[in-house]
Amino acid sequence: MAKEVVKKIKLEIPAGKATPAPPVGTVLGPAGINLGEFVTRFNDATRDKMGDIIPCEISVYDDRSFDFVLKSAPAAFLIKKYAKVQKGGTKGSKEIVGKLSKADLRTIAETKLDDLNAYDVEAAMNIVAGTAKNMGIEIVD
């Protein structure tokens, strides 16, 4: 008989830096997951993406075992990283705080393509460009 999923937990954790301390421990502890095993498996799986924030979807089964799926970093995080800004503008598109090239926009769209509701890179670029505009990041050629 297949294992039954009891709980699904979503977390955003810095790649390669998960620890049993909060916020990971406070969320996964009550679910009955072995924190040491999760931390080890997560850190090993994300070691190549150090410095990025990685969304993780954890499925907890009835026998307290678990699986997790790693997603790509949030679009806003990638936009800030490529535009080299600490945070987006407070007034949205009315306040320009940085610039992003079309090449960087394409790179972000290709990274996010699997997680976005888009069929091709051009549509994904439009979605990411909208996010960038709302953050006060200007797209330049």
What CATH number corresponds to the domain at position 115? 1.10.10.250
Q: Which amino acid is at 63?
A: D
The total of structural domains in the chain comes to 2
Q: Which of 21, 50, 70 is the last residue before a domain boundary?
A: 70
Q: Which domain holds residue 28?
A: 5-70
Residue 56 has pLDDT above 80, yes or no: yes
| DSSP element (H, E) containing 75 | helix 75-83
pLDDT on residue 1: 54
Q: Which residues contact 12 (CB under 8 A, 6 or more apart)?
A: 53, 54, 55, 56, 74
Last residue of a domain, one of 70, 97, 122: 70
- The gap between the terminal CA atoms of the chain, to the nearest Å, is 56
Same domain assignment for residues 12 and 26? yes
Residues 6+ apart with CB under 8 A from 14: 51, 52, 53, 54
pLDDT of res. 70: 92
- State percent of the chain over pLDDT 70: 99
CATH number for position 42: 3.30.1550.10
Percentage of the chain modeled with pLDDT above 90: 48
pLDDT at 2 > cutoff 80: no
Same domain for 19 and 44? yes
Range 78-95 average pLDDT: 86
Domain boundary among 52, 70, 88: 70
Q: What is the pLDDT of residues 62-86, one digit of tens each?
A: 888 999 999 888 999 999 999 999 8
Residue 32 pLDDT: 85
Tell me the pLDDT tens digit for each residue of 8-25.
Answer: 999 999 998 888 888 888
Residue matched to tokens 């972000």: 108
Clarify whether residues 114 and 65 are in a common domain: no
Q: What is the pLDDT of residue 87?
A: 85
Nearest partner of 71 among 10, 137, 122, 28, judged by Cα? 10
Higher local confidence (pLDDT), 19 or 1: 19
